[in-house]
Structure 1
Amino acid sequence: MDSALSSSLRLQAKACLALGSPFHAGLLDLAAEDCEAGGPTAALLAPWAGEDLRGLMAAAVPLRLLGGLHDLVLSGDAPPLADVYPKPGKEFDAASAWPQARLAMTQHAARLAAFMDHEPQTNEVRRSVCLLGGFLTVAQETGLPLRCFEIAASAGLNTSWDRYRYDLSGAAWGPESPVLLPTEWTGPSPPLDAPVVVSHRAACDRRPVDLNDPALRRRLLAYVWPDQFDRLTRIRAAIEVTLAQGVRVEAADAVEWTARLAAPSPGAATVIYHSVFWQYMPRENQAALRQTIENIGLSATNEAPLAWLRMEPPPENMALMEIRLTMWPGGAERLLGTVHPHGASVSWTG
């Protein structure tokens, strides 16, 4: 048995517990034991055998397993599993759910394997809270409308960031909206009075989620942790807003798409942005995208500035997210703040 596989499950269990999902934490601890015993968990994770722990976590293998099980629940195709999964107003615990989860890994092995073959689509809408301060900073410092280009947009929920209502520990921003995004905000407020006009928005993803497809919409929901009912409520509301706005996410390679579309434009600030995406790219692709953005920045002027806004974990701590902003002309980079991976809290420095 590959010890890195069980270690990845236990490491993700600790992260789930720290991030407020005791149900998923418990499932993963039990799955780790099953993996070590050569049970159905080991069979499902076999395609990643030989990968080191860092690679397993970067590929989010434990989250793929959790997403696959939740997808079975949401589909209605595994009623016994659904009966023991979290529901509002109902008591639940991982130990009670585990026998059905383990059975589902056997009865639905092919379906789970197919689900896990694709990288996670974690379109956490509250990450817009983390990005908001960056957009406001660009708007204030340039005084220009924003042309927004989102890389790895998944279903495009964060492409509609300006259509949501924000509560930054009592400081509000945004229109009236069915999507309310609260967060614990510490540090100075971002420039909430900066005039914001989004003159253009576009998005790409290698495998975009078509929200008009029920199966793909369900896949998106499957990666929301089932015992976090507020997150499920928010993402469902954001899906409706995004559908109403007609947001289209283009299926494209990030490097090619960025080079083709995101050149600076006079009279607007071009913003290239992404969240929790970098770790899924091979290093050579990371280098190519960075070089592409820097090359675009060389043509930026004060009348046509470029901003690169991102929410990503630093290499040494995958549980902590940083908000970084690089602006051209000049290419000066700064750390704007650190944030909870799901946007529950923001520590802002500006």
Structure 2
Amino acid sequence: MSDAATEGLRLQAGVCRTMGSELTAQVLEAAAADALAGGPSAALLRPWAQADLKTVMFDAMPLRLAAAIHDLALSGEEPELSAAYVALDPVRIWTVARARIGEHAARLARFMEHEPQTNEVRRSICLLGGFLTVARETGLPLRCFEVAASAGLNLSWDSYRHELAGRAWGDPAARVRMDTDWSGRLPPLEAPVRVVERAACDRRPTELSDPDQRRRLLAYYWPDQVGRLARIRAAIDQAVETGVAVERADAVDWLRARVRPRAGTASVVYHSVFWTYLSAGTQGAFMAAVGALGGEASAEAPVAHLSIEPRPTDLSIMEVRLRLWPGGEERLLAECQPHGAWVRWLA
């Protein structure tokens, strides 16, 4: 097994520990030690046997491995593993998982073939300030278009209750509630917001009516972060009841075909943790498509591009950026933790 694959597991373990999941950190460290010793987990890392560390982390291989094991536990097919996760016991989890990897090798490898789709719903509280800024500066109702939306949980951002710095925005009776450690000034909470259209696409959308796909989404949530799991379960239930839909489409093709400025509304194209999964060529094509929309914008039909993406020099910090046309100047609105645990408003 390559040093890069096992080093990636240890590196991700450190990130998980920093972000509050000691359980996932210990599972990944145990997997790294097992793979180095030629244990059963080495077979699951084989697709990355010759990869360098950059590729291992770009592919999010460690997160795929941790989620594959969690998914097996959530399936109920291995009651002893399920019980270990309920007990939040990382030593027991790895002991049982290691003993079962050989039996479930094909299933686990199949799970790991596809990149993660966390669909972290608390990123909505990070996006909130951007939507409010567009609403205040344009004075128009919003049309919201999310690319790489996974299950589309952040498409319903305006139906959630957001609590920040002793203030709140959204329906007090909302099923999905989220808070964050907010610092800096507040965004324009008083801005009137009305969403008149919303749509989303993903190359491989998560179909929440399918139990296997719903479980896959939950598997990427770290099991010892109980609040995150409760929040996404509430968001999933709401999305199923309200019929949130995500179209299966390539982001660039969908944007070109689906979105045009419309008089009397502000059209907002947005995404979160999408950019790093694109090739340089696709990144260029996407920005060209966004720029073309901006070129069609007017004061009566403005266009915005809102994003949450990792800081290039530090992947543990996300940047909330906004461009609003006419004009199109890029603004850094905020920095935030990848799961929305804290937001530092800079605008």
TM-score after normalising by structure 1: 0.97
Q: Deviations over 1:249-269 (max 9, x none)?
A: 000000000111122111111
1:327 match? 324
Question: Which secondary structure state, in structure 1, belongs to the residue aligned with residue 189 of structure 2?
Answer: coil
Q: Report if the CA contact (8 A) 1:326-1:334 is conserved.
A: yes
Q: How many percent identity over aligned positions?
A: 56
Where do residues 42-61 of structure 1 align in structure 2 (5 Å cutoff)? Answer: 42-61=42-61
Query: Which sits farther off after the overlay, 295-304 or 94-103?
Result: 94-103
Q: Report if the CA contact (8 A) 1:71-1:222 is conserved.
A: yes
Matched, 1:312 2:309: yes
Distance 2:238 2:89 in 1: 33
Matched, 1:348 2:323: no
2:265 match? 268
> Gaps spanning 5+ residues in structure 2: where?
none
Q: Deviations over 1:199-232 (max 9, x none)?
A: 1000000110111111111111111111111111
1:230 match? 227
Q: Deviations over 1:267-298 (max 9, x none)?
A: 11100000011111122111110111111111
Question: Which secondary structure state, in structure 1, belongs to the residue aligned with residue 296 of structure 2?
Answer: coil
Distance 1:42 1:306 in 2: 48
2:121 match? 125
Distance 2:281 2:109 in 1: 27
Q: Deviations over 1:86-136 (max 9, x none)?
A: x3xx4x432232111212222210000110111111111101010001000
How far residue 79 of structure 1 moved from its aligned partner, in angstroms, is 1.2
Matched, 1:256 2:253: yes
How far residue 31 of structure 1 moved from its aligned partner, in angstroms, is 0.8
Query: Which sits farther off after the overlay, 275-284 or 197-206?
Result: 275-284
Distance 1:275 1:155 in 2: 13
How far residue 69 of structure 1 moved from its aligned partner, in angstroms, is 0.7
Q: Report if the CA contact (8 A) 1:81-1:104 is conserved.
A: no
Q: Deviations over 1:146-173 (max 9, x none)?
A: 0000001111100010110010121100
2:82 match? 82
1:239 match? 236
Matched, 1:205 2:202: yes
2:109 match? 113
Q: Report if the CA contact (8 A) 1:167-1:183 is conserved.
A: yes
Match of 2:146 among 147, 150, 156: 150
**Structure 1 counterpart of 2:9, one-letter code:** L
Distance 1:254 1:156 in 2: 14
Distance 1:40 1:283 in 2: 35
Distance 1:330 1:242 in 2: 35
Distance 2:225 2:301 in 1: 42
Where do residues 173-184 of structure 1 align in structure 2 (5 Å cutoff)? Answer: 173-175=169-171, 176-184=173-181
Distance 1:155 1:311 in 2: 17
Q: Deviations over 1:52-80 (max 9, x none)?
A: 21221121110001111111111101112
Distance 1:189 1:315 in 2: 25
**RMSD in angstroms over aligned alpha carbons?**
1.0
Matched, 1:37 2:37: yes
Distance 2:142 2:260 in 1: 13
Question: Which secondary structure state, in structure 2, belongs to the residue aligned with residue 320 of structure 1?
Answer: strand
Matched, 1:171 2:171: no
2:218 match? 221
2:15 match? 15
Distance 1:308 1:52 in 2: 33
**Structure 2 counterpart of 1:271, one-letter code:** V
Distance 1:55 1:289 in 2: 22
Query: Which sits farther off after the overlay, 218-227 or 99-108?
Result: 99-108
Distance 1:239 1:96 in 2: 29
Distance 2:72 2:346 in 1: 42
Match of 1:294 among 269, 272, 291: 291
Distance 2:36 2:284 in 1: 37
